[in-house]
């Protein structure tokens, strides 16, 4: 393990400018003293609030890079959580595997705070080459600076004459189109990003500062596909107001494959150099853009382009971070799991409700819950230390899960690979988004999964300053559902009042209600401590769910344009076919995709999706997530009327 203390000190000095910005309590080994009775008469202890603030602010800081699995920021976040598990005196939870001299595997139980698991693969460009031969001179471009390989096409090596085709739009308003019966066979097509713009650099077709669905990569590639280019180079056009015009899109962030030929992307500056050398009419890149703004333009350039792309699959591994508070007496062999997911969306290349390319800090989702289990682990360790020597209590396993945002991968892996038989797990408590509590309202659900648990909880709910909103309808889109599937009783704590900053860059630490979060942890400290000592465990019962009424077609004002499948395997909606010209087709959805996310929210099943659909009006622009070839692809869709 890397030295986390050095990293955290660097965080205090470099990210926030001075260590005084965050309390020193989060960096040293001295835990705050147990709150006095006088402190408890106020809503929360000031010491606990400060420690919670430290954990929350650090985990949601830019230093953690949005905590997307596989990133350096997520490694720092995991180091941070492990560091405090150690400081609080909790034991490693997971086994490690080594090889003996004879080659046999040696398993050492409970020797690591990490539980590695495969999260799937990601595509990376391992070879990127682009050059132009014009007038006897060769222009060689630098990958990452002048151009990038995208994931819109496969690996390949091709060369050929160049042709500029404008915005590559099949059909736009007022008869606009980029193609007629043009045959691009053997040619490298140069395509502008976005769509026709006005004098301010904004779309001529979309309201506000956005773009119509014709501007997305998938639509452009679908439009050019039938004209058979040998390769495609997308150029960031000059004079547009979108900040992405100054950025290159790589394999990971460009979405799924659309064409069967390599697709590269080039900067505006590189495009200007090329056009200055290769346009026989000596037009500039701005001149070509203005022509493309007004309509169809097919312009053959002199010289040839040579490009090479090699895209290879790299396996991504993630890790749950877990620590054990051993039980005692006859109950010690039974386990309570207290968890929260640590991961978030990074730069928003999947799951974002506002678009990629900007840091998504995930303060509420779910630095708030992760900070909560750190605070709770310390509190419960102290409570266990104070138990009489002859007391009996269940063991408690604290887990910061990874891979929740991409499909509950970490919690599902643990449920399938537990440290003790899954039947020895008595209860799972999950925190997801406890940081934006409004009017002291906290939602608690899941109690119907344990016989008698609802009645048992009422004194705890009556004794908290919070207003507990009790619900028999259990949301399945968080880590507790992995335990529910194994018939383990669960409790789920989450804000009762949703907010619009979910899955956007606006989910920042300054928005967090520290007081409400610590009150939540105080409540669950009492619940967990009592559950750990309760002589009888709660028998599992299938959670009560409010009958889900499928939205009537008369209530739905939009059409998505798919034929859904009804596979029972996996969450979301399997797409068997896509209607030509419909919202889904225009947005780049393909048969075989699985619709798993709608405007940032996970989709449990087709009934849940129908309820989402009825909330929309024709013309609404949303971001969806589809699972394609094992990877989530984010697409922009404009909903059409029924």
Note the pLDDT of residue 6.
42
Residue 547, pLDDT above cutoff 50: no
- 10-62: per-residue pLDDT in tens? 443 333 322 223 333 333 333 433 333 333 334 688 999 999 999 999 999 99
* Range(s) within the chain of domains with CATH label 2.30.42.10: 553-641
Rounded Cα–Cα distance for residues 364 and 513 (Å): 9
Note the pLDDT of residue 558.
84
Residue the block writes with tokens 């849940």? 608
Question: Could you tell me which residue, 168 or 26, shows the higher pLDDT?
Answer: 168
Note the pLDDT of residue 31.
40
Note the pLDDT of residue 636.
87
Note the pLDDT of residue 476.
57
Question: Chain-wide mean pLDDT for the chain?
Answer: 88
- 274-331: per-residue pLDDT in tens? 999 999 999 999 999 999 999 999 999 999 999 999 999 888 899 999 999 999 999 9
Segment 417-426 mean pLDDT = 97
* Range(s) within the chain of domains with CATH label 3.40.630.10: 4-112+326-533
Residue 641, pLDDT above cutoff 80: no
Residues in the chain: 642
* Range(s) within the chain of domains with CATH label 3.50.30.30: 122-313
Question: Could you tell me which residue, 179 or 550, shows the higher pLDDT?
Answer: 179
Rounded Cα–Cα distance for residues 498 and 503 (Å): 12
Segment 505-526 mean pLDDT = 97
Closest by CA to 85, choosing from 396, 405, 495, is 396
Residue 632, pLDDT above cutoff 60: yes
Tokens representing 566 are 């009804």
* Residues whose CB is less than 8 angstroms from the CB of residue 255 and which lie 6 or more positions away in sequence, other chains included: 151, 152, 217, 218, 588, 633, 634, 635
Residue 551, pLDDT above cutoff 70: no
The answer to whether 228 and 183 are in contact (CB under 8 A) is yes
Question: Could you tell me which residue, 350 or 205, shows the higher pLDDT?
Answer: 205
Rounded Cα–Cα distance for residues 24 and 79 (Å): 18
Segment 605-610 mean pLDDT = 79
Question: Could you tell me which residue, 499 or 427, shows the higher pLDDT?
Answer: 427
- 347-380: per-residue pLDDT in tens? 988 888 887 889 999 999 999 999 999 999 999 9
Note the pLDDT of residue 552.
45
pTM: 0.67
Element (H, E) at 484: helix 480-484
The answer to whether 194 and 221 are in contact (CB under 8 A) is no
Note the pLDDT of residue 356.
82
Rounded Cα–Cα distance for residues 484 and 538 (Å): 13
Note the pLDDT of residue 114.
98
Question: Could you tell me which residue, 213 or 285, shows the higher pLDDT?
Answer: 285
Q: Give the pLDDT band (50/70/90) at residue 565.
A: low
Question: Could you tell me which residue, 267 or 544, shows the higher pLDDT?
Answer: 267
Q: What is the CATH number of domain 553-641?
A: 2.30.42.10
Rounded Cα–Cα distance for residues 214 and 584 (Å): 12
Rounded Cα–Cα distance for residues 376 and 518 (Å): 9
Residue the block writes with tokens 């989709």? 603
User: Which of 107-111, 232-236, 545-549, 622-626 is modeled with the greatest confidence?
Assistant: 232-236
DSSP codes joined into one string, 50-117: HHHHHHHHHHTSGGGGGG-TTSHHHHHHHHHHHHHHHHTTPEE-EEEEEE-TTS-EEEEEEEESEEEE
Which class would CATH give 4-112+326-533? alpha beta
Residue 126, pLDDT above cutoff 50: yes
Closest by CA to 9, choosing from 21, 23, 1, 19, is 19
Note the pLDDT of residue 570.
62
Cite the beta strand spans of 217-376 per DSSP E.
231-235, 263-266, 299-325, 335-341
Note the pLDDT of residue 582.
82
User: Three-state SS for 34?
Assistant: coil
Share of the chain above pLDDT 70, in %: 90
Residue 80, pLDDT above cutoff 50: yes
Rounded Cα–Cα distance for residues 590 and 365 (Å): 30
CATH of 122-313, one of 3.40.640.10, 3.50.30.30, 3.20.20.80, 3.30.428.10: 3.50.30.30
Rounded Cα–Cα distance for residues 26 and 31 (Å): 9
């Amino acid at each position: 393990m890397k030295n986390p203390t050095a990293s955290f000190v660097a965080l205090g000095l470099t990210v926030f400018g001075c260590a005084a910005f965050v309390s020193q309590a989060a960096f040293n080994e001295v835990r705050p003293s147990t709150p006095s009775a006088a402190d408890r008469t106020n809503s929360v202890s000031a010491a606990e609030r400060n420690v919670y603030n430290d954990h929350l602010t650090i985990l949601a800081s830019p230093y953690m890079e949005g905590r997307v699995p596989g990133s350096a920021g997520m490694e720092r976040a995991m180091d941070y959580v492990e560091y405090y598990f150690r400081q609080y005196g909790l034991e490693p939870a997971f086994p490690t595997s080594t090889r003996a001299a004879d080659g046999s595997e040696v398993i050492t139980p409970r020797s690591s705070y990490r539980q590695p698991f495969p999260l799937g693969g990601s595509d990376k460009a391992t070879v990127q080459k682009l050059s132009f031969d014009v007038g006897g001179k060769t222009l060689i471009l630098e990958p990452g600076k002048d151009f990038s390989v995208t994931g819109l096409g496969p690996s390949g090596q091709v060369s050929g004459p160049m042709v500029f085709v404008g915005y590559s739009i099949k059909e736009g308003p007022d008869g606009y189109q980029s193609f007629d019966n043009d045959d691009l066979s053997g040619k490298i097509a140069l395509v502008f990003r976005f769509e026709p713009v006005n004098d301010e650099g904004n779309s001529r077709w979309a309201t506000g500062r956005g773009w119509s669905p014709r501007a997305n990569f998938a639509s452009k590639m679908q439009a050019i596909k039938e004209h058979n280019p040998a390769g495609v180079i997308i150029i960031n056009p000059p004079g547009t107001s979108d900040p992405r015009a100054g950025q290159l899109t790589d394999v990971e962030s460009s979405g799924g494959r659309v064409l069967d030929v390599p697709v590269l992307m080039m900067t505006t500056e590189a495009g200007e150099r090329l056009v200055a050398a290769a346009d026989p009419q000596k037009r500039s890149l701005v001149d070509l853009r203005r022509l493309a703004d007004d309509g169809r333009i097919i312009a053959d350039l002199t010289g040839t382009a040579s490009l090479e792309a090699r895209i290879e699959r790299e396996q991504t591994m993630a890790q749950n971070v877990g620590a054990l508070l051993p039980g005692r007496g006859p109950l010690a062999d039974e386990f309570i799991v207290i968890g929260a997911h640590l991961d978030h969306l990074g730069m928003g290349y999947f799951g974002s409700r506002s678009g990629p390319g900007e840091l998504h800090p995930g303060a509420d989702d779910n630095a708030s819950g992760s900070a909560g289990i750190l605070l709770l682990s310390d509190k419960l360790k102290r409570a266990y230390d104070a138990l009489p020597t002859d007391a009996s209590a269940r063991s408690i396993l604290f887990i910061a899960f990874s891979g929740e945002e991409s499909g509950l991968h970490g919690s599902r892996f643990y449920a399938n690979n537990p440290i003790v038989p899954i039947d020895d797990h008595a209860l799972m408590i999950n925190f997801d988004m406890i940081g934006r509590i409004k009017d002291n309202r906290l939602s608690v659900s899941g109690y119907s999964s344990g016989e008698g648990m609802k009645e048992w909880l009422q004194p705890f709910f009556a004794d908290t300053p919070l207003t507990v909103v009790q619900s028999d309808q259990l949301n399945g889109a968080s880590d507790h559902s992995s335990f529910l599937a194994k018939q383990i009783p669960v409790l789920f704590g989450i804000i009762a009042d949703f907010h619009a900053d979910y899955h956007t860059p606006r989910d920042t630490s300054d928005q967090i209600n520290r007081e409400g979060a610590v009150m939540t942890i105080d409540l669950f400290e009492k619940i967990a401590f009592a559950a750990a000592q309760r002589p009888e465990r709660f028998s599992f019962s299938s959670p009560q769910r409010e009958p889900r009424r499928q939205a009537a077609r008369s209530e739905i004002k939009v059409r998505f344009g798919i034929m859904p499948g009804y596979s029972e395997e996996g969450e979301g909606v399997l797409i068997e076919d896509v209607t030509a010209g419909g919202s889904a087709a225009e947005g780049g959805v393909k048969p075989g995709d699985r619709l798993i996310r709608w405007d940032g929210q996970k989709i449990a099943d087709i009934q849940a999706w129908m309820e989402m659909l009825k909330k929309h009006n024709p013309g609404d622009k949303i971001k969806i997530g589809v699972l394609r070839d094992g990877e989530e692809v984010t697409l922009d869709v404009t909903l059409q009327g029924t």
